Amino acid sequence: MEFFRSTNIDWLSKKWYLLAFSLIFSIGGVLSMLFWHGIPKGVDFTGGTQVTVHFDTTPNEDHIRSAMDTAKVRDARIQRISGAAGASSSNVIISLPMSSAQDTQHDQGRAEVESALTANYHDSHFEVEQVDIVGPTAGKQLVSQAQLAVLYSLLGMLAYLWFRFELIYGVAAVAAVFHDTLITIGAFSLTNQEISLTVVAALLTLIGYSMNDTIVVFDRIRENLADNRREPLADVVNRAINQTLSRTVLTSGLTFLTVLCLYLFGGEVLHGFSFALVIGILIGTYSSIAVAAPMLVAYQNWRASKGKSASLPAAKPTAPRPTTR
Amino acid sequence: MGKNLTTKTWAILAILLVFLYGIFGIPHGGWKKSITDRIHLGLDLRGGTHLVLQVQVQEAIGSSTDRDMTALNTALAATGATATKLDPKVHPEVITINEPDSSKLSAVSTIVNDNAYASYEKQSNASGYTMTLTQAAQRDLADRTVETSIETIRQRIDSLGVSEPVIEKYGLGDNQILVQLPGVDDPARVENIIQSTAKLEIHEVVSGSPYPDAAQALTAVGGSLPPDEEIIMGSGSGAGPDQAWVLKRASIVEGTDFRGATAQQDENGRPDIGFTLTTEAGDRFYKYTDANKGTGSMAIVLENKVREVATIQSAIRDQGRITGGFSQQQADDLSLMLRTGSLPASIKYLETRTVGPSLGAASIHQGVMAAVAGLVAVLVFMLIYYKGAGINADLALLLNLVILLGFMGFTGATLTLPGIAGVILTIGMGVDSNVLIFERIREELRLGKTSAQAIQDGFDHAWKTIFDTHVTTIVSAGILFIFGTGPIKGFAVTLVFGLAANLFTAVFVSRVIFDYLLEKRGRTAPLSI
């Protein structure tokens, strides 16, 4: 079986459509981050208390809310979790913002929620399944750690690509990955889903994945450049994209399949994680073709316009050979 | 079969066996039990409590400099100089010495530069000296405080009978401790035991105490507290709850000086706690009580409240008793805490995460089901799309999983829910490697090459790309491992292991299978791909 035997699509001629597509999505996300939902940060980063409660029977959210109000639990946010495959479940997350007392009375929020629930649901059974309490220090620390982790891993990849290819390849790949992350975070903002530590892990996965995809195309460009130095770069790039298209679609399709399984059957705990990956795989695949590769051509055109050498710098030596011989 | 190929086949089988051992160990009590014994599940999967604590090392630094300040004041008495602390709350590491009489500065200098204060940086100024505990000494003290805290918490947790607890230093040098208690989903109980720092100290009472409240105590000492004294409120029956006591800041005996403690009952059948001191502390205690027999009184300060005040009637060496309105439960808990040593500094909670066992079980079930569903879909697809070569890919993928899980069994790495996601991603990248190779082989075949040549060139060309993609991802996963915590770290671990395994399976194992086919069916027989 074979899906794409020999495609011959002129990707670069469509760059303005692709650019428009990227811009619409990134700007939409950025606008939402700036003016609408902001970046919805979970309790991992804001600090506070989050109690996940399982009820025997599907509870009424208003009833829980009034229970919290009666017990004077401040600013409680009630959120029903959608279960496997979107079915509504009888699990509810009750989140409290960080209180100034939390420094000394770490546990207070949980105790308040539990006693409010006991007072109102003593006859119908409920079970506290998960409690996350993040203090102010930890929240700040987790934010800065997550940011550092992302920053350093981007720098690490940039350095590696610089070493293995050329600086412009690294810059283009990192730009594409940045584009993907921006759009994915934008999707979280637009749908107002909270970003937790697990979602950060997913964003990092997406970065790795998108980078992977980009490198496959770049590698082919480098190889084609070595074969034929006279061919215009735009043609080389187009050919490389078409040559790897079959692989790109297959791999992305299969990865998307596994991630979709995770999204549909992985349960509530993995919901944010798999949502990020579902979006990320799609956008990551797209960006390696529509963002990273055209940047190489744009860079070369820019160099040519400034009267410098028109060709991309010569390819670097190949990787050490595998030990299969 | 060629000799080379035979060796490779045996090598692969040996690796398979080794990593199967990593997953299952020597089989006992069913394969499920074997697996769960070897592969450590994270708390998100098995349920339990995850705590991040911060040791308030400033307190330990403060009490260390308090002791030095007291000693300095004794030594400086003849010179008329006094050692004080400007702000013990913000800068517990700084002692200042005021010498009003400049003619005695050299005498002060001799004392200050004594070996006993070698861990201070000294700066002389017009009116005396500023002594600051050096950064190195502070770091050292902080490290020791954290270590002692870990040891103490470990002993206490052990007495709770939690199996496989994790108690270790956490983060990058912020004096934090990670405590993980599998299966314990009642963190209130755990926090109670840990948080009760049972900071027990015995201080000398400054005569005149107690006062009805803190304000009056302050007035009585002349409006401002001398640097070596502090006001502590009373609590319990021994010392009225609202009374304010003026005590010497430096303790005579502190938590780490206790060797043993037992809950017992006094002559009236009321619970109290008998304690014994270490030899060194016993000597110190004897010297002090002997010198102050009949004149002084001592306050037993528990958790920063005066529990009891006793007049020193006779010299005591190493045994004593704390009475004062305990319930039997309190006396039991307290003696446990004293026995296991009191914490050198109090502890602040930064993070508490509790996962109930039922949610853990549901998560693992769902996570594994999703992983299996994804895997099966991929395996079936590869067979349909690549026919015969699909078998290579499928075997390589399965071996990849065996190696990945085996790694985790050998290294004791923890499998978390994001880790399972990492496994799924490894499957994705494993598929990618195979697809890259197979697509390349198809291209070469299209150019009219023989099967053997197409396989050779296909692997050679794809290898460069596979190498680059894997190394890039491993680089970023490595960085995540270093800087990440919790779920991010668990994810990074599985990803690194998985990708390393994939380099081996997708490139080496799949190649051996192809070579085997070529050998069996001839180097030019058409490939099923």
Predicted confidence at residue B239, as pLDDT, reads: 54
Q: E strands within B30-103?
A: 40-41, 48-55, 82-84, 94-98
B120 touches B131 (CB < 8 A): yes
Main-chain phi, psi angles of B514, to 5 degrees: -60, -45
Buried b (16+ CB within 10 A) or exposed e, A122-133: eeeebebbbbbb
Alpha-carbon distance A212 to A201, whole Å? 16
Closest by Cβ to A153, choosing from B373, B439, B479:
B479
Q: What is the pLDDT of residues B24-61, one digit of tens each?
A: 887 777 777 777 778 888 887 788 888 888 888 888 88
Q: Which of A62, A65, A63, A55 is nearest to A91 (CA)?
A: A55
| pLDDT at residue B437 is higher than 90 | yes
Q: What is the pLDDT of residues B378-396, one digit of tens each?
A: 899 999 999 989 999 999 9
Predicted confidence at residue B473, as pLDDT, reads: 85
- Quick one: DSSP state of residue A137? H
CA angle A155, B492, B422 (to 5 degrees): 120
Cβ contacts of B431 on chain A, cutoff 8 Å: 251, 254-255
- Establish whether this prediction's ipTM goes over 0.90: no
- Using DSSP's 3-state secondary structure scheme, residue B92 falls into coil
A137 touches B54 (CB < 8 A): yes
Query: Nearest CA to CA, how far is B431 from chain A (Å)?
Result: 7
B471 contacts A130? CB cut-off 8 A: no
- Which ranges of chain A have pLDDT less than 70? 82-89, 100-105, 122-124, 308-325
Q: Which of B347, B344, B342, B351 is nearest to B156 (CA)?
A: B342
Most confident residue range from A60-69, B78-87, B507-516: B507-516
Query: Nearest CA to CA, how far is A312 from chain B (Å)?
Result: 19
Q: Which of B221, B220, B292 is nearest to B252 (CA)?
A: B292
B443 contacts A132? CB cut-off 8 A: no
Cβ contacts of A243 on chain B, cutoff 8 Å: 443
The CB density around residue A178, as the number of other CB atoms within 10 Å, is 17
B113 touches chain A (CB under 8 A): no
Cβ contacts of B464 on chain A, cutoff 8 Å: 219, 223, 318-319
Cβ contacts of B485 on chain A, cutoff 8 Å: 142, 145
**What are the CA-CA distances from residue B385 to residues B379, B382, B389 (Å)?**
10, 5, 9
- Quick one: DSSP state of residue B192? H
Q: Which of A322, A125, A207 is nearest to B459 (CA)?
A: A322
A267 contacts B465? CB cut-off 8 A: no
Most confident residue range from A152-156, B119-123, B459-463: B459-463
Q: What's the mean pLDDT in B452-457?
A: 93
Q: Which of B149, B182, B155, B193 is nearest to B53 (CA)?
A: B149
B14 touches chain A (CB under 8 A): no
To which residue do tokens 């409010």 refer?
A116
Q: Which of B396, B384, B388 is nearest to B432 (CA)?
A: B396
Q: What is the pLDDT of residues B218-276, one digit of tens each?
A: 787 777 777 778 888 877 555 566 778 888 887 888 777 777 777 777 777 777 777 78
| pLDDT at residue B324 is higher than 80 | no
Predicted confidence at residue A178, as pLDDT, reads: 92
B474 touches B466 (CB < 8 A): no
Bridge partners of B124? Answer: B129
